[in-house]
Structure 1
Amino acid sequence: MGEARGGTSQRRLAIAGMAGNILEWYDFSIYGFFAYAIGENFFPSHSKSTSLIDAFGVFAAGFLMRPVGALLFGQIGDRWGRKQALTISVVAMAVPTVLIGLLPTHAQIGVMAPILLVVLRLIQGLSVGGEYTTSVVFMVEGSASNRRGLLGAFGAAAAFAGVMLGSAVGAIVAAMMAPEALASWGWRIPFLAGVTIGIAGYYIRRELQSADDVPRIAPPPIGEVLRTQWRRVLQIAGFKVLESVGFYLMFVYSATYLTEIVGIAKSRALAINTIGMAAAVVMLPVAGALSDRFGRKPMLLLSAGAIITFAWPLFNLLWHPVFHVPLLGQLGFALLIATFDGVAPVTAAEAFPANVRCTGVGLSHNLCMALLGGTAPMVATYLIDKTDNEMVPPLYLIAAAIISAIFVLSLKETAHEPLSE
């Protein structure tokens, strides 16, 4: 699949692939950053911890639709082209995001409020289930053979940039408002602001030059894909455990952890998270480029081993009251996790043949994200509440790294081989 096709330059390819991803992950992650306010407004309870667990439960519910979205958008991408799938997914994320920002609370319409919230999160999950992996496949297939890791990493960088943007907007809103106003209505502002990114993403995708990106071999029905590819799907899902747990534990849940457990002000916690995300965005393409030179497996194993070794001491830094110390810990996590996440997209894309690539990559990625990624904040909150041990998260992260390392060892090195047709 050599050079970028249809006259689409590498730069234009990257911009088109990244545009919707930024929107998707901005929209999807701001829920996590404002889970405490959403819990109070939609799941009122005498226990603050119970409200937060309920809110993170809805966060996890969105992930249950991701495998369904992966199958739906995977089939659209494999049958009618990557561009069509990417354009539809942008719209399917922007609309429910704005509606969440307008949704009446439990105090206003009773039990219908959390029900509608769940429905909108399910629609978001359906959309994000197809967006990220389809965009990665789109960029990897269109890149030069010696730059597949770099271009694939730009898809991950866009996801991180979207979360970073959500964190930055949350930090600005939190810094400008009184805590009471923020919890009451200020949390809606980031959701409503997402409409501007959505419009921009839609037009960038719509204007994308048509590329000859439909596989030459017609994709088999979903049932046959599941029957013939299930071992590979489970293998790729297994190596992505660290990607799933690491991302949501350290870049979505960490802001809540710093605020609710450590006791850092919300604006400072989001500032720490935003700076960490910025470091990750820079590191992701570096990791992808290094994998083009040194191979996928060495980079993945290096990252997993470093997380097993340093997760505990880095997490200890988050407890320090001086701003720059927890920031240093977050930066350490950002660089280590980004090293793994920058190589994961191309590794998954290279594992499947072209006619089932969107479906296979999407299903394996989103199965892992649904089971372990979206549930990570809820599980961490629950375990801390039940064990009264506030150092559960690094143990969770270390376990994820061990599992991923085992599956990485079973993978075939594909960095210097042509993409399978």
Structure 2
Amino acid sequence: MTSIDLALQAHHPMLRQKWKTVILASLGGSLELYDFIIYGVFAREIATQFFPATDPVASLIGAFGVFALGYMSRPLGGVILSSLGDRLGRRVVFLVSVLAMSATTIGIGLVPGYAAIGMAAPVLLVMLRLLQGFFLAGELPCSITYVVEEVPGRASTVSGLVIFCAAAGILIATLVSLVIHSTLSADDVLTYGWRIAFLFGGVIGLLSYWLRTSLEESSEFQQLRSHKVKRPFRRVLAEYPKQIVVGVGVAGIVNASNSLLFVVLPSYMALVLHADPRLVSEGQNIGIATMCVSLLLFACLGDRIASRHWHRLGTILMLAGSYPFYALLTAQRLDVIAAFTIIGAIGGLVNGSYAFLLADLFPTEVRFSGIALSLNLATVIFTGATPFLVTQLLHATGSPAAPGLYLTGVAVIALAAGIGLKAMGGRIDRAGTIAGAA
């Protein structure tokens, strides 16, 4: 047996350990979108419990207002947690963020309603949502940073796996909602059923925390212990402002298109196009499942063909096809199931590539801070604003195809941002580990 054979045999256990580490790091991302969806799914019940009013619309506005507040604390959380991650290490932020996020999720499930403690109920709900958003801001950027540094030779694949797990959190949320609504009466769902969903999410988080305690610091960060940056966030702003702008544009198309798929499109089809709500719900689940498969496929392809090409292709398809797509939809010349499937398949192009592209914009010593700032700014600007802007555009233009106009505009921004990817990227050293990670 040659020395090369012995080296390969010794290397295989290390590779298996690295992939196990990647999977553990990725699982926490499912909490992010689980939380995002589960609050919206049970918004009516939360509104009744915490914002009682004679007008149900006013009550619902209160609940969605608290939902939006969760995004307000994300930029601050992203700055603080990412700075700690670039100074103290990825592992400590991993553990702190998922533990705190789990605690706040459980807290929402346990906090008494307005009937029990009066105004203290909505105040506590607001505080918990702010804390939830704060700690959530570090979860996905930390996961992306960790996996690309652990297996840089397959950086596109492993970062795509993080996004795949995050998207899978939506499917978990819809399944939990289906089980609760199928097994409990409407009154029981209103009284305590919605709380089960939050408690379940918290328990998943605690399980994730326990699994992550076995993780070690990422390999790349360990090599930088003598070169750590004291003020990483300040350095990102001073030395990488163009990368931040590009990162926001690259992530913006993902946030906008996902917000349309997860939040706007179901209500739009049911209320504007008068589609069967059951068919819409079925189509949405098929669309999400299609996107999960599609994004993982294009993430894997990104290790062979540059990820920026897949992102650009997805952006161009949205730019050229969004308005015609919605025009066909409003003319009822496109089947609901087919529509969601198309959205999921094309969405996979940008969802499967953007995490790697963000990581590739920043060097190791400030990578966490750069990803967190780009990702959280894009989330605040595009995810939070999309439902409102699309609704306003529908009202202002009177055109049922208005969502297509909105996504076309966002695609122009993303395409412009993508021009700088080749010149500004290349920060992940993949050459030395591609063969070993195969």
Establish whether TM, by shorter chain, passes 0.5.
yes
Secondary structure at the counterpart of residue 292 of structure 1: coil
Task: Please point out which of 382, 395, 401 is paired with 2:405.
Answer: 395
- What pairs up with 1:211-226 in 2 under 5 angstroms? 211-212=218-219, 213-214=221-222, 215-216=224-225, 217-221=227-231, 222-226=233-237
Task: Please point out which of 250, 258, 280 is paired with 2:261.
Answer: 250
AA matched with 1:247:
N
Q: Distance in 2 between matches of 1:238 and 1:46?
A: 42
Q: 1:405 to 1:46 in 2, by over 3 A?
A: farther
Q: Distance in 1 between matches of 2:269 and 2:402?
A: 14
Q: 1:412 to 1:211 in 2, by over 3 A?
A: closer
Is 1:376 the counterpart of 2:386 in the alignment? yes
* Equivalent in the alignment of 1:295: 306
* Equivalent in the alignment of 2:285: 274
Is 1:83 the counterpart of 2:94 in the alignment? no
Is 1:34 the counterpart of 2:45 in the alignment? no
- What pairs up with 1:96-135 in 2 under 5 angstroms? 96-135=104-143
Q: Distance in 2 between matches of 1:78 and 1:415?
A: 19
Larger gyration radius, structure 1 or structure 2: 2
Task: Please point out which of 350, 355, 373 is paired with 2:360.
Answer: 350
Instruction: Give the drift of 1:392.
Output: 3.3
Q: Distance in 2 between matches of 1:136 and 1:5?
A: 23
Secondary structure at the counterpart of residue 240 of structure 2: helix
Contact persistence 1:21–1:155 (CA under 8 A): yes
* Equivalent in the alignment of 2:7: none
Secondary structure at the counterpart of residue 104 of structure 1: coil
Q: 1:106 to 1:303 in 2, by over 3 A?
A: same
Deviates more, 1:46-55 or 1:367-376: 46-55
Task: Please point out which of 191, 197, 206 is paired with 1:190.
Answer: 197
- What pairs up with 1:145-156 in 2 under 5 angstroms? 145=153, 147-156=154-163
Contact persistence 1:243–1:337 (CA under 8 A): yes
Contact persistence 1:168–1:270 (CA under 8 A): no
Task: Please point out which of 159, 164, 184 is paired with 1:157.
Answer: 164
Contact persistence 2:152–2:429 (CA under 8 A): no
Is 1:207 the counterpart of 2:214 in the alignment? yes
Q: Distance in 2 between matches of 1:104 and 1:383?
A: 38
* Equivalent in the alignment of 1:412: 422
Is 1:143 the counterpart of 2:151 in the alignment? yes
Q: Distance in 1 between matches of 2:262 and 2:386?
A: 11
* Equivalent in the alignment of 1:22: 30
Q: 1:271 to 1:182 in 2, by over 3 A?
A: farther
Deviates more, 1:167-176 or 1:287-296: 167-176
Q: Distance in 1 between matches of 2:180 and 2:319?
A: 35
- What per-residue deviation string (whole Å, max 9, x for no partner) do you get for residues 176-226 of structure 1? 444454345432221121133112211111122454334342124133332
Instruction: Give the drift of 1:160.
Output: 0.4
Q: 1:411 to 1:219 in 2, by over 3 A?
A: same
Task: Please point out which of 166, 175, 180 is paired with 1:173.
Answer: 180
Instruction: Give the drift of 1:52.
Output: 3.7
Contact persistence 1:233–1:364 (CA under 8 A): yes
* Equivalent in the alignment of 2:371: 361
Q: Distance in 2 between matches of 1:416 and 1:58?
A: 38
- What per-residue deviation string (whole Å, max 9, x for no partner) do you get for residues 293-347 of structure 1? 221221111101111233345446767999x932221121111112101100000
AA matched with 1:242:
I
AA matched with 1:355:
E
Q: 1:165 to 1:258 in 2, by over 3 A?
A: farther
AA matched with 1:326:
V
Q: Distance in 1 between matches of 2:13 and 2:67?
A: 38
AA matched with 1:230:
P
Q: Aligned-pair RMSD on alpha carbons?
A: 3.1
Q: Distance in 1 between matches of 2:327 and 2:193?
A: 32
Q: Which segments of 5 or more consecutive residues in structure 1 lack a partner in the other structure?
A: none
AA matched with 1:343:
S
What fraction of aligned residue pairs are identical, expressed as a percent? 29
Secondary structure at the counterpart of residue 9 of structure 1: helix
Q: 1:206 to 1:258 in 2, by over 3 A?
A: farther
AA matched with 1:410:
G
Q: Distance in 2 between matches of 1:410 and 1:24?
A: 29
Contact persistence 2:167–2:288 (CA under 8 A): yes
Secondary structure at the counterpart of residue 240 of structure 1: helix
Contact persistence 2:78–2:373 (CA under 8 A): yes
Q: Distance in 1 between matches of 2:305 and 2:125?
A: 45
- What per-residue deviation string (whole Å, max 9, x for no partner) do you get for residues 65-114 of structure 1? 11112112212221222121111111121111112122333344343332
AA matched with 1:57:
G
AA matched with 2:197:
P
Q: 1:58 to 1:264 in 2, by over 3 A?
A: farther
- How does the TM-score come out when normalised to structure 2? 0.84
